[in-house]
Amino acid sequence: MSLKTKRMYDNFIIFTIGTFIIMGNSSTIDLSGGMLYKGLPVKITDLCFLLIVLKNLKLVIKPPKIEDNLFMVWIIWGIISIFLNFYIYEYDFPQIRYGILYPIRMLIYLLGTQYIVENLKRRFSFRKMMNKLNFYYTITCIIGIFQYIFYPVAFDFYDVLKSLNVYILNPDPHYNRLFGTYLDPNFLGSILVFPVGLTLAEIFTSRYKKRKIMKIVQLMFQILIVILTSSRSGILGVFIVLTVFFIIDIMNVNSKMKKIFFNIFIGGGSVTLIGLALTFNKIRVFKRIAEFKEDPSAQARFSSFGDAIDKIKDNFLTGTGYNMMGFVGGDSTHATGFGTNSSWLFVFITTGVIGILIFVSYLFRNIYIIYNLRNRKNYFYSNAIIAITVASFVTTNFNNLLVYPSWIVVYIFINEFYFKTQKRKRVVRKI
């Protein structure tokens, strides 16, 4: 490959990851005038990832190490469980064909992301690449501000997207909530733990005062965006990221730094609590938190948890098979994750206790490797990734994030880039 061709390909894959983050759920372009299943829909980012996989087709035939690809193992197990339940639930061929399409798509995303990392790791440092991701999320937030100000009624914004032939699945009637191109304020709020964590790491990594100030402003902007989503799970996720990040730092730095972190954490926390006390009843998301017992949305989630647990009891070991939940319940609209708001319950329903163990092992193995690859150079970023993982581990109980491409692809990308670019050293005890 010539140098010029190599640069063009690098720019293409940077465009792919940027487009993937910025467009969110607005990347499905309907070329058939609204008839999605009768015409020819084109999902821009799906097509880009597929092209990347085809470009690296020779690498596909190399057998991956199981311990390094537990997420792939889980996807494959989800497909296997479909066939294991063939007789139990009497799936027909069209149902099986439909069921395996989504895990195949996830495999394409996984492979495409790994190849993106392989191509970019020599051109960009980890820190520079994370800054790029942060930039893409900043653009996403700006689009969200535009939507929030000019299209506070969700269906007005949907009409704009539809005029651009964007296909929107099951649109919700949000009002005065920021959701931007992700089309769902709860998903957007939970996903923004990525830029919040990365910005937090950059604040403590940067040696330049002006850059620190700029990043502090950026962090405040990102938290404001989460507040404007009015997403309770988003606020919870941000709180967990901040808390876990500071707890890990306090546990591992010397006494002088402990004092600094303690002052920042306690001082900042006190100011925040005072601010919340003065504005709690005026900010919508905090009102939603206080009134969650009377909130139909919250109660519907709790109700779905009970229904999901009943389904788990029916097939505890292997589950129903990936993407087959709706066919078991007799409602094909629930074929993917629409039957429950909790990813952990969804994983349990569709892949059983075996699937849960594989997925939990995947997340905990990531935390273990990240922690053991920490060094002075990547110290704060490693803490941020761990904090993001813990936050997502919790918020995914309220949003089906684990199998949501806009979450899992970015999560895989950040972890793989970290693994490929950081040198193995002992855990940092003092800095």
What are the domain boundaries of the chain?
3-254+305-421
pLDDT confidence of residue 429: 46
Query: pTM for this structure?
Result: 0.86
Binning pLDDT at 50, 70 and 90, where does residue 37 land?
Answer: very low
User: How does the average pLDDT of the chain come out, rounded?
Assistant: 81
Residue 29, phi then psi, degrees to nearest 5: -100, 120
Instruction: Report the DSSP beta bridge partners of residue 42.
Output: 29
pLDDT above 90 (res 427): no
The pLDDT score that the predictor gives to residue 134 is 96
Q: Who wins on pLDDT, 361 or 397?
A: 361
pLDDT band at 15; cut points 50, 70, 90: very high
| CA dist 176 → 124, 154, 241 (Å) | 39, 8, 26
DSSP 181: G
Q: Which residues pair with 43 in a beta bridge?
A: 28
Q: Residues 391, 193: contact at Cβ < 8 Å?
A: yes
Helices (H), 180-208: 185-191, 193-205
Q: What is the pLDDT of residue 424?
A: 53
**Which residues, other chains included, contact 14 with Cβ-Cβ below 8 Å and sequence gap of 6+?**
120, 132
- Which pLDDT score is estimated for 399? 81
- Residue 430: pLDDT above 50? no
Supply the DSSP symbol for 73: H
Distance of CA 49 to the CA centre of its chain: 17
Rounded to 5 degrees, what are φ and ψ at 25?
-90, 10
In angstroms, how far is CA 398 from the centroid of its own chain? 13
Q: Per-residue confidence at 327, pLDDT binned at 50, 70, 90?
A: confident
Long-range contacts of 83-87 (CB under 8 A, 24+ apart): 83/321, 84/318, 84/321, 85/315, 85/318, 85/319, 85/320, 85/321, 85/324
Task: Scan for tokens 């109660």, then name that residue.
Answer: 299
Tens of pLDDT along 337-396? Answer: 455 778 888 888 889 999 999 999 999 999 999 988 988 889 999 999 999 999 999 988
pLDDT tens by residue, 103-132: 899 999 999 998 899 889 888 999 999 999
Assign 42 a pLDDT band (cuts: 50, 70, 90): confident
pLDDT of residue 262: 55
For residue 326, the model assigns a pLDDT of 74
- 107-133 burial, b at 16+ Cβ within 10 Å, e below that, comes to bbbbbbbbbbbebbbeebebbebbeeb
> What integer pLDDT is reported at residue 36 of this predicted model?
46
Rg, Å, the chain Cα set: 22
Strands 41-43, 28-30: pairing kind? antiparallel
What pLDDT band is residue 256 in, cutting at 50, 70 and 90? low
> Is the pLDDT reported for residue 182 higher than 90?
yes
In whole angstroms, how far apart are CA 53 and each of 27, 107, 120, 196, 390? Answer: 19, 10, 15, 30, 30
Cα torsion 245, 250, 253, 255 to 10°: value is 150
Please tell me which residue, 217 or 334, carries the higher pLDDT value: 217
User: Per-residue pLDDT tens for 58-101?
Assistant: 765 555 555 568 899 999 999 999 888 887 788 888 888 888 88
Cβ–Cβ under 8 Å, residues 341 and 304? yes
pLDDT above 90 as % of the chain: 38
Look at the chain and count its residues.
431
pLDDT in the model for residue 65: 58
Segments of 223-291 assigned E as strands: none
Share of the chain above pLDDT 70, in %: 77
Average pLDDT of the segment spanning 228-242:
89
Note whether 89 and 328 are within 8 A (CB): yes
